[in-house]
A and B are shown apart, each in its own frame.
Chain A
Amino acid sequence: MTPRRRRGMLAHRARVIGAHAIVTLRDQGAYLGELALGGAILFVFLFVLSCLWTATFRAQESSLLGGLTLVQMTWYVTFTEALVMSRVNVARRIDEDIRTGNLAHALLRPGGYLTARFGAYLAERLVRFAFSLGFGSVVALALAGPVVIDPVAALGAIVATGLAFVLEFAIIAGIGLGAFWTEDTSSIYFLYTRVSLLLGGVLIPIELFPEGAAIVARALPFAPMIHGPARLALAPDGTGFLSVIASLVVSLTVVGTMMAVGYRSGLERLTVQGG
């Protein structure tokens, strides 16, 4: 393939992602009720976690735990909760497409099936994340007060969040593609959400894990995907940026390759029935 043709294909894929993202963004208005439910759940979680960390700081008679003050800890859990609550279950949609045979029709459309799914995922994820972070920030502000955010660290956190969204798409889409081989991928997705809750450092920063558990958590993709952007956002400067990005890129390379291989071999098993 010539470099010109490759550039043309990439531009075409970008247009497909953009088109699916815009359609999904328009659809989001229909799910305001679901967003409101998410807001109420987020409020309860943040309130309880704020009580927990307030009591912990008081019991430890310390102003700093894991390198974070109480105010920063409240904002840390706000960021991590926003990241996990904005998760989009694209695995269920891919699973349905494979099971119902819709995948065969989707493959006929230009731009590629996973590219289209990625565009829709990205738009929905951005809307959910903006809502969760915005609402969570109001709650965190009321519970703990304002937090100082370094502009360079914030920029790093934004980049890391973007990469984390791409990495999570690769993981969740990979789970959905499991429908080519297994009866039910919903239990795998459920397990993924639970394990990432613990090993991603959602409720307790990785710095406060026992040593052995911290080593395991850092070796898996969950920590750079959840703990990484949240910790970067609260860093005094951008020094942690490169290590977070490096972990995300390595995870993305490994998971992305696995997903691509799984997709190709899955397509070979695709059987179209009926017309």
Chain B
Amino acid sequence: MATLRFLAHYVRANLEVALAYRAAFAAKVFAMVVNDGIWVAFWWLFFERFPSVEGYGFRQIVLVWAIGTTAFGLSSGIAGGASTIAAKIASGDLDFYLVLPKPPVLHLVVSRMDPGGIGDALFGIATFAFLARPSAREAVAFAILVVIAASIIVAYAVATNSIAFWAGRADTIAEQAMFGLITFSTYPERLFSTPVKAVLYTVVPAGFVSFVPVALVQEWDWGWAAVLVGVAGGSLLGSKAIFDAGLRRYASGSILAMRG
């Protein structure tokens, strides 16, 4: 509970900072909504011409995008700092977080909010409500599953960014890894062959971020739901373990800086 209250305080503070520049905040949110809208428009064009591909129709792809954008939006909207860890490690900028009372990784991930993430999440929720036209059961499943998917995305960002502890500079690798996860998460699972799916359920966890949640929203399965919760919990603990292992190798940047 204390951690949740801590997160809520950080989110509120980040939101207040972002809203200090309301026009810029609104522009970023709007830009992300347009970006997502263009992709859904592409799929609309596609399915107008080919109504069904590998059992997928427009409603299925809407679910893929609704869950994907909401989960990625929540992760970068609440924990946007996760994707900045590699750069902070490389510049020796972690010192500030090491002296704080809570675990440094927790401070790092919630230290920043990406307004584009808010746009993503708003788009995902609106798309789900208006284009997927869900039943009450689907809506409840959606609300739970996007939070679980978002936690897997945050864990993935922390793990890939932590490569910087060993590699020095890893922001480009982490950026590529996140781009790969986003791309694979926004296409239907059945497009990919078995070896590719094996990668998408392990190294690049698009399977757990998108494929399993989409299947669960359509048809609930307690077994797969338990697997998903287990994967999310394991990912969070695993990524924290990777970060902590890396942190033991970290050398201070000895930077003198003012923080407002």
Given contacts A187-B31, A195-B38, A198-B41, whether A40 and B191 have CB atoms under 8 Å apart is no
> Is A52 positioned at the interface, with any CB of B under 8 Å from its CB?
yes
Residues of B within 8 A of A54 (CB): 191
Residue in chain B with minimal CB distance to A37: B172
B27 contacts chain A at the CB level, 8 A cutoff? yes
Partner of B183, one of A45, A197, A203: A45
Instruction: Provide the residues of chain B in CB contact with A210, threshold 8 Å.
Output: 45, 48-49
Q: Is the CB of B45 within 8 A of A52?
A: no
B53 touches A59 (CB 8 A): yes
The interface stretch among B81-89, B156-164, B173-181, B231-239 is: B173-181
Instruction: List, in ascending order, chain A residues with CB within 8 A of B187's CB.
Output: 48, 51-52
Query: Does A44 belong to the interface (CB within 8 Å)?
Result: yes
A51 touches B179 (CB 8 A): no
Complexed CA–CA distance, A171 and B138 (Å): 44
Determine if B35 and A194 form an interchain contact, defined as CB atoms under 8 angstroms apart. Answer: yes
In the bound complex, residues from chain A placing their C-beta under 8 Å from that of B30 are 187
Interface residues on B, range: 20 to 34
Partner among A44, A45, A55, A204 whose Cβ is within 8 Å of the Cβ of B191: A55
Expressed in whole angstroms, the Cα–Cα distance for A261 and B31 within the complex equals 28
Q: Within 8 Å CB of A184, what residues of B? A: 24, 27
Within 8 A of A (CB), among B173-204: 175-176, 179-180, 183-184, 187, 190-193, 196
Give 15 A-B pairs besides A44-B183, A51-B193, A208-B49 with Cβ atoms closer than 8 angstroms: A37-B172, A45-B183, A48-B184, A51-B196, A54-B191, A55-B54, A59-B52, A190-B35, A191-B34, A194-B35, A198-B45, A203-B42, A204-B46, A208-B45, A210-B48
Would you list 23 pairs from A and B whose C-beta atoms are within 8 A, ordered by A residue?
Answer: A37-B175, A40-B176, A48-B191, A51-B187, A51-B193, A52-B187, A54-B191, A55-B53, A55-B190, A55-B191, A59-B53, A184-B27, A190-B35, A191-B31, A194-B35, A197-B38, A198-B38, A198-B41, A198-B45, A204-B45, A209-B49, A210-B45, A210-B49
What is the interface of chain A, defined by CB distance below 8 A to chain B?
A: 33, 36-37, 40-41, 44-45, 48, 51-52, 54-56, 59-60, 183-184, 187, 190-191, 194-195, 197-198, 203-204, 208-210, 213
